[in-house]
A and B are shown apart, each in its own frame.
Chain A
Amino acid sequence: MQIKRWLLKIAIHLDFPLLLLLFVLMILSLFLQYSASGEDKSHLLMHGINMLIALGVLVLVANIPPPYLLALAVPLYTTGVILLVGVALFGDVVNGSRRWLHLGVTRIQPSEILKIATPLMLAWYFHYHEATLRLKDYGIAAVLLAIPVALVARQPDLGTALLIAASGFYVLFFAGLPWRALFGMIVAGAASLPILWHFLHDYQKRRVLTLLHPEQDPLGAGYHIIQSSIAIGSGGSFGKGWLHGTQAHLDFLPEHSTDFVFAVFGEEFGLLGNVFLLLLYLAIIARGLMITVNASTLFARLMAGSVTLAFFTYAFVNMGMVSGLLPVVGIPLPMMSYGGTAMVIVMLGFGIVMSVKSHRKLIKS
C-alpha cells in the first residue's frame, strides 16, 4: 500500500505519451543492438542496463521540482566550465583530442555535462531577466554560451561543441532572440564559414571534403561513408530483415553498434523501417514541442524547447551523417546507439521536460 502510494507519487510527474514513445524507441533499440552486435547477449544486457540507468535518471529528474533545477543551473555550469578548463590543462589525450579528465578513480568527459548545463544556465539567466529583457541580455547569454563551446571546440571535439552551441541557441531562440538578430547571425555565420574553414583541423577538413567525394579515399576517410551508404542503400524498400544485414555482420561497417548503428537499421529494415523511425522521432519531438508550448513559465518553455530540439538535432545530424548527407562527426543516434553516457544525457533532458510539465501547477513564481 505504502509502495503503491509512493509509486503513484513518482508516476504523477511522468508524461505517459512521451514515456510510451520512448519505450517503443528503446524496444527497437534492443532489437537493433542485438543484431548490430552480432547477436551478442552480453552486449545486449549491457545495453539494457544502460537503458535502465538512463530511465532511472529520467524518473529521478522528472521528480525534481523546477526551482531545484534552477538552483542547480549556476553550480552545474560553473563546475562544467572549470572542469573544461581542467581538461584543457591536465586532460588525457585520447585519439588526438583532449576530452577526458581524471578524477581519482574514474575519468569523466566534462563536455557531456555541458550538453545539459549550458541550456540550463541560459534558461536560468533568461528566467531571472524575464521582466527586463533587452538586446544586451541576449549578448550576455551568447557569451555564456560561447565559453563552453569554444572550450570544447578546441579539445578538439567539433561535434559536441556544435551540439552545445545548438542547444544554447535554441534557448536564445525560444527566449525571443529578435528575428533581426537571428538573421544577422545566420548571415554572419555563413559569411564566416570560409574563415572558420581555416580553423578546422586537417582531419575535420578531410571529413567535409570526403562527404563531397567519398570515392576519392575509399579505404581512408571515405570508408565510413561508403560502407554506411552501401548498408542503407542495399537495404532497399523493405530491408534485408532483422539479423540478415551483411555489412555489419561481416565487419564492413565500422562502429556499427555506436555512431553508425543507423546503417544497420537501414540495411535490415529498409526504407519502411526508416520512415517508421523518422515518424517515431517526429512523434517524440512533437510531444516535446507540445509540452513546450503549454509550459507555464519561461524557464519551463526554454528547457523543454531546447531539450526537444537538441534531441532532434542529434537524430538529424546522426542520420544525415550515416546516410552521407553530412560530414562525419561523433554524434550517436539518440537512444539507438550503444553507450551509457549519451543515453543518460538524452533521458536526463526528457526528465527535465517532464519535470517542468508536471510541476507547472505547483510552481510559484
Chain B
Amino acid sequence: MNRPTEIRHYRTEISGFRHRVMAAAGIVVLLFLFLLGRFFYIQVIQYHHYFALGESNRISFLPIPPNRGIIMDRNGVVLAHNYSAYTLELTPAKIDDLDATIDQLSRLVNITAADRKRFKKTLSESRNFDTLPLRTRLTDVEVARVAANRYRLPGVEVKARLFRQYPLGTSASHLIGYIGRMNDADVAALQKAGRYDNYRGTDHLGKVGIEQSYETLLHGKTGAEQMETDANGHAVQSLARIAPVSGDNLVLYLDSKLQAIAEQAFGNYKGALVALDPKTGGILAFVSRPDFDPNMFVDGIDTADWDALNNSPDHPLIDRALRAAYPEGSTVKPFMALAALHYGLRSPEDVIADPGYFSLPGSTHRYRDWKHGGHGMVNMHKAIVVSCDTYFYRLANDMGIDRMHQYLSQFGFGRKTGIDLQGELPGLLPSREWKAKHSKQPWYPGETVIAGIGQGYNLATPLQLAVATAALANGGMTMRPQLVEAVIDSRTGQRRLVPPQPLTRIDIPPDQLKVIVDAMIDVTRPGGTASAASAGAPYLIAAKTGTAQVVGIRQNEKYDARHVLAANRDHAVFIAFAPADNPKIAVAVFVENGGHGGSAAGPIARAVMDYYLLGKLPKPSAAGPAIDAGANRHAD
C-alpha cells in the first residue's frame, strides 16, 4: 500500500518541480524585463540628459587669461607692463602635507623664509582648488630640477606666467596703483557685476590706482580652449580654441620725468602735489609722499613688509593727493576776493585800515592778522599780495557763510572732483545745513570769520585745490581732472582719445578775473609772499601761499598728524599757475609740517613749472627744500 502512494508522490513531486522551474524562469524573465526597462529609460528617454553629462565630464573649457594692458605716460614711457617668467606653483588641495612638500622643494630650488611667509598669507586668502605661487622667477636650472622631480611631487607645477611689473618702482606709485591676488570679496564683487566669467583663469586684478579704476579696459577678454580632459583633469587633446583679447593700453597725461622731479623736490617732506593742464584737466604730475613700491604687491606681499607699510606713522600707502584733506588756509583768499566782486561787496579800490586784528561788532574777541600791528591801508590787490587776514575776516563777515558756500562750491570745494581714480575724499566746505546735521548746533558768526581765511572747518584735498586753481587759470571753466588721455585698442592699435570733460563754467567777468590774477602775479614779485620761490622765473607765475593749521584737523582714517612735534605742525600750502598770461599748468602743493607755503611748498611747485614750461632740470642743490622750522609763520 505504501508503494503506489510513493509513486504518486514522486509524480506530483516531479510536476511540482517543473512548476518551480517554470516559476523561476518567469521571475528571471520578469527581472530581465525590469532591467530592460531601466536601460530603455536611461539610454533612450534620458539619453540627452546623460549624453550632456558625459560631454561635460569629458570636455572642459580651459580659460586662457588675456594679457593685461600696458600703462604708459604721455611720452610713451612704460609705467606698468608684463613680463613672462616661470613660477613654482602648489595646489594645496592635492597636497597632504604642505610643509613637507615645501621642505622637499627647498632642496631643489632656493625658497626663502619670506617666500614661505608670503605663501602662507596667500594660502589664507585663497579660494579653494587654486594653485598658488611659492616662488616666482625661477631660473632655467631650477625649472629643470623641479621638472626632473615632478613625479614624486604631486600637486607641484612649474608654470609660465605673465607678471606685472612697474619699472619706475616707487615713482607715481599711488597713481598707477598695483594689481594683487583676487580675494573672496573681489570674486563676490565680480560675480555681482556679472563679470566673473571673464576672470576665469585670472588670479590678479587691479587693487589700487589706475590699475583699479581702469580694470575693465586693462583686463581684456578671456579666451578659452575646449579641451578633452580625463577624470584627473589632465588635458588629453584640444578640440577648439577661442583666442583671448588683450587688455587695452592706456596713455596718461602724466609726464614721468616731471613726476620724478616733483617727487625729488619733496625731499624728506611728506605731502602731496597735483599738477594739471588747466585746459584739459589732464593730470601732469600726481605726487603723494612718502610712497611705496607697487612691485611688492604683485606676487602677494609678505606679512612683515605689509605691516611695515600699513603701520608706518607716515602712512605711505595713503594717496594724500586725493585721500588727505587739509585746511586750504590762505589759498582760499583769491576765491574769496572773486566772490566779493561777484556779490558787489567790494570794489577792487575799496580800502580798509588793518589794525592787525578784526573783531565782530559787539565783541571784544580779536581775530588776529598773521602780522602783528597789521598791514595798514589795504585794498583787494594788497590783501592778496601780502595775504592780509584782517581784510578777509571782515569780508567774510560781510558776505556771510551762505553766500561764501554758494560761490566757493562752484570751484569744486566740498565735493568730489570725479577724477578717474577711486577713493577720492570730498573735502569739506562748511555751511549752515552741514553744521546743523553734523553737530546739531547753529552756525556762529565767528566761524564765518575764520572760514574767510580757509581755517576752521574748511578742508580740501590737494586734488581739489589744484582743480580750483586750474579753474581760475582757465577763466572759470572747470575741467574734470583726468589721468588717462587716450586708450589704445590692443587689436587694432587704434588710439581713442578720452575727451576732456568740462565740469562747470563759472561766470567770471574778465575784468574781475584780471584783478585777482594780477594780484596773484604780484604775490610772486618782490613784496609778495612767494617772491623768493618765484625769483628769476622767465615766465609769469600767478600764485598764492597758505599755511594750514593742523589743530583740529580731520583727515582720512588712521592718519593722525598729532603725532608730529608741535613746532612743526603747520602745513605749507601753495597754489600757482603759469604762464599767468597763457596758463599751461596749474599746481597745488601741500607740504605736511612744512610751515609757510612760500618757503616750503613754493620751490616744489617752481621746480615742476620750470621743467614743464622750460624743460629745465632743477639744480642739484635745490633738489629739496631745506627743512627749516624757523621759517614758520614768518609771512602769511
Alpha-carbon distance between A252 and B47 when the two chains are bound, in angstroms:
18
Question: Dominant SS at the A interface?
Answer: helix
Please tell me if A237 contacts chain B, counting CB pairs below 8 Å.
yes
Alpha-carbon distance between A237 and B17 when the two chains are bound, in angstroms:
39
Please tell me if A319 contacts chain B, counting CB pairs below 8 Å.
yes
Across-interface contacts of B150 in A (CB, < 8 A): none
Please tell me if B240 contacts chain A, counting CB pairs below 8 Å.
no
Alpha-carbon distance between A281 and B33 when the two chains are bound, in angstroms:
13
Q: A174-B21, A234-B50, A234-B54 are in contact. Are A282 and B29 (CB under 8 A)?
A: yes
A282-313 with Cβ < 8 A to chain B: 282, 285-286, 289, 292-293, 301, 305, 309, 312
Q: A233-B42, A233-B51, A271-B43 are in contact. Are A251 and B35 (CB under 8 A)?
A: no
Across-interface contacts of A309 in B (CB, < 8 A): 24, 28
A216-271 with Cβ < 8 A to chain B: 227, 229-237, 246-247, 249-252, 266-267, 270-271
Alpha-carbon distance between A232 and B46 when the two chains are bound, in angstroms:
10
Please tell me if A320 contacts chain B, counting CB pairs below 8 Å.
yes
Please tell me if B38 contacts chain A, counting CB pairs below 8 Å.
yes
Q: Which residue of B lies closest to A290 (CB)?
A: B21
Cβ B38 vs Cβ A325 within 8 A: yes
Cβ A282 vs Cβ B24 within 8 A: no
Across-interface contacts of B44 in A (CB, < 8 A): 236-237, 271
B347 to chain A, nearest CB (A): 84
A69 to chain B, nearest CB (A): 20
Please tell me if B16 contacts chain A, counting CB pairs below 8 Å.
yes
Question: Contacting B32 at CB < 8 Å: which of A246, A282, A324?
Answer: A282
Across-interface contacts of A305 in B (CB, < 8 A): 21, 24
Q: A229-B50, A271-B44, A325-B38 are in contact. Are A316 and B31 (CB under 8 A)?
A: yes
Cβ B39 vs Cβ A247 within 8 A: no
B225 to chain A, nearest CB (A): 17
Please tell me if A176 contacts chain B, counting CB pairs below 8 Å.
yes
Please tell me if A278 contacts chain B, counting CB pairs below 8 Å.
yes
Binds A, one of B177-185, B226-234, B255-263: B226-234
Alpha-carbon distance between A246 and B29 when the two chains are bound, in angstroms:
31
Alpha-carbon distance between A198 and B421 when the two chains are bound, in angstroms:
66
Q: Which residue of A lies closest to B56 (CB)?
A: A230
* Count of interface residues, chain B, beta-carbon cutoff 8 Å: 37
B58 to chain A, nearest CB (A): 5
Alpha-carbon distance between A278 and B31 when the two chains are bound, in angstroms:
11
Cβ A233 vs Cβ B38 within 8 A: no
Cβ A293 vs Cβ B43 within 8 A: no
Across-interface contacts of B54 in A (CB, < 8 A): 230-231, 233-234, 246-247, 267
Q: A252-B231, A285-B28, A324-B42 are in contact. Are A232 and B50 (CB under 8 A)?
A: yes
Across-interface contacts of A289 in B (CB, < 8 A): 21, 24-25
B1-46 with Cβ < 8 A to chain A: 13, 16-18, 20-21, 24-25, 28-29, 31-32, 34-36, 38-40, 42-44, 46
Alpha-carbon distance between A141 and B121 when the two chains are bound, in angstroms:
69
Q: A230-B57, A233-B46, A236-B51 are in contact. Are A323 and B38 (CB under 8 A)?
A: yes
Alpha-carbon distance between A236 and B44 when the two chains are bound, in angstroms:
6
B37 to chain A, nearest CB (A): 9
Q: Which residue of A lies closest to B57 (CB)?
A: A252
B38 to chain A, nearest CB (A): 5
Cβ A232 vs Cβ B42 within 8 A: yes
Alpha-carbon distance between A319 and B25 when the two chains are bound, in angstroms:
18
Alpha-carbon distance between A289 and B231 when the two chains are bound, in angstroms:
43
Q: A250-B229, A320-B35 are in contact. Are A271 and B57 (CB under 8 A)?
A: no
A80 to chain B, nearest CB (A): 26
Q: Which residue of A lies closest to B53 (CB)?
A: A230
Cβ B35 vs Cβ A319 within 8 A: yes
Cβ A286 vs Cβ B25 within 8 A: yes
Please tell me if B127 contacts chain A, counting CB pairs below 8 Å.
no
B228-267 with Cβ < 8 A to chain A: 228-232, 236
* Count of interface residues, chain A, beta-carbon cutoff 8 Å: 44
Cβ A250 vs Cβ B236 within 8 A: yes
Alpha-carbon distance between A265 and B228 when the two chains are bound, in angstroms:
21
Alpha-carbon distance between A320 and B31 when the two chains are bound, in angstroms:
10
Alpha-carbon distance between A282 and B31 when the two chains are bound, in angstroms:
11
Question: Contacting A251 at CB < 8 Å: which of B29, B228, B232?
Answer: B232
Please tell me if B49 contacts chain A, counting CB pairs below 8 Å.
yes
Alpha-carbon distance between A312 and B21 when the two chains are bound, in angstroms:
13
B301 to chain A, nearest CB (A): 35
Q: How many A-B residue pairs have CB under 8 A?
A: 119
The digit string for B110-147, where 1 denotes a CB below 8 A from any CB of A, is 00000000000000000000000000000000000000
B196-229 with Cβ < 8 A to chain A: 228-229
Question: Contacting B21 at CB < 8 Å: which of A227, A229, A281, A293?
Answer: A293
Please tell me if A209 contacts chain B, counting CB pairs below 8 Å.
no
Cβ B230 vs Cβ A251 within 8 A: yes
Question: Contacting B57 at CB < 8 Å: which of A173, A246, A278, A319?
Answer: A246
Q: A174-B17, A266-B43, A319-B35 are in contact. Are A233 and B57 (CB under 8 A)?
A: no
Question: Contacting B43 at CB < 8 Å: which of A170, A176, A235?
Answer: A235
Please tell me if A111 contacts chain B, counting CB pairs below 8 Å.
no
Alpha-carbon distance between A281 and B35 when the two chains are bound, in angstroms:
12
Cβ B47 vs Cβ A233 within 8 A: yes
Q: Which residue of B lies closest to A316 (CB)?
A: B31
Q: A176-B13, A246-B54, A274-B43 are in contact. Are A324 and B38 (CB under 8 A)?
A: yes
Please tell me if A275 contacts chain B, counting CB pairs below 8 Å.
yes
B46 to chain A, nearest CB (A): 5
B5 to chain A, nearest CB (A): 13
Cβ A234 vs Cβ B51 within 8 A: yes
Cβ B39 vs Cβ A250 within 8 A: no
B611-625 with Cβ < 8 A to chain A: none
Q: Which residue of A lies closest to B47 (CB)?
A: A236
B452 to chain A, nearest CB (A): 72
Alpha-carbon distance between A289 and B21 when the two chains are bound, in angstroms:
7
Question: Contacting B20 at CB < 8 Å: which of A173, A230, A274, A282?
Answer: A173
Q: Which residue of A lies closest to B6 (CB)?
A: A131
Q: Which residue of B lies closest to A226 (CB)?
A: B53
Q: A234-B47, A237-B43 are in contact. Are A301 and B31 (CB under 8 A)?
A: no
Across-interface contacts of B49 in A (CB, < 8 A): 233
Q: Which residue of A lies closest to B231 (CB)?
A: A251
Question: Contacting B39 at CB < 8 Å: which of A282, A286, A323?
Answer: A323
Alpha-carbon distance between A174 and B20 when the two chains are bound, in angstroms:
7
B249-308 with Cβ < 8 A to chain A: none
B408-422 with Cβ < 8 A to chain A: none
Cβ B17 vs Cβ A176 within 8 A: yes
Cβ A281 vs Cβ B13 within 8 A: no
Across-interface contacts of B58 in A (CB, < 8 A): 246-247, 250, 252
B26 to chain A, nearest CB (A): 11
Alpha-carbon distance between A323 and B40 when the two chains are bound, in angstroms:
11
A307 to chain B, nearest CB (A): 12
Across-interface contacts of B47 in A (CB, < 8 A): 233-234, 236-237
Alpha-carbon distance between A301 and B25 when the two chains are bound, in angstroms:
15
Q: A170-B24, A176-B16, A316-B31 are in contact. List 6 more A-B contacts (CB 8 A).
A: A233-B46, A249-B230, A250-B229, A250-B236, A286-B25, A289-B24
30 inter-chain pairs at a CB distance below 8 angstroms, sorted by A residue, are A174-B17, A176-B17, A229-B42, A230-B50, A232-B43, A232-B50, A233-B51, A233-B54, A234-B47, A234-B53, A236-B43, A236-B47, A237-B43, A246-B54, A246-B58, A250-B57, A250-B228, A250-B229, A250-B230, A252-B58, A271-B43, A271-B44, A275-B39, A282-B28, A292-B21, A293-B18, A305-B24, A312-B31, A323-B35, A324-B42
Query: Could you tell me which A residues sit within 8 Å of B by CB distance?
Result: 170, 173-174, 176, 227, 229-237, 246-247, 249-252, 266-267, 270-271, 274-275, 278, 281-282, 285-286, 289, 292-293, 301, 305, 309, 312, 316, 319-320, 323-325
Ranked nearest first, the 8 interchain pairs of A and B with the lowest CB-CB distance are A233-B50, A234-B54, A251-B231, A233-B42, A250-B230, A271-B43, A252-B231, A234-B51
Query: Could you tell me which B residues sit within 8 Å of A by CB distance?
Result: 13, 16-18, 20-21, 24-25, 28-29, 31-32, 34-36, 38-40, 42-44, 46-47, 49-51, 53-55, 57-58, 228-232, 236
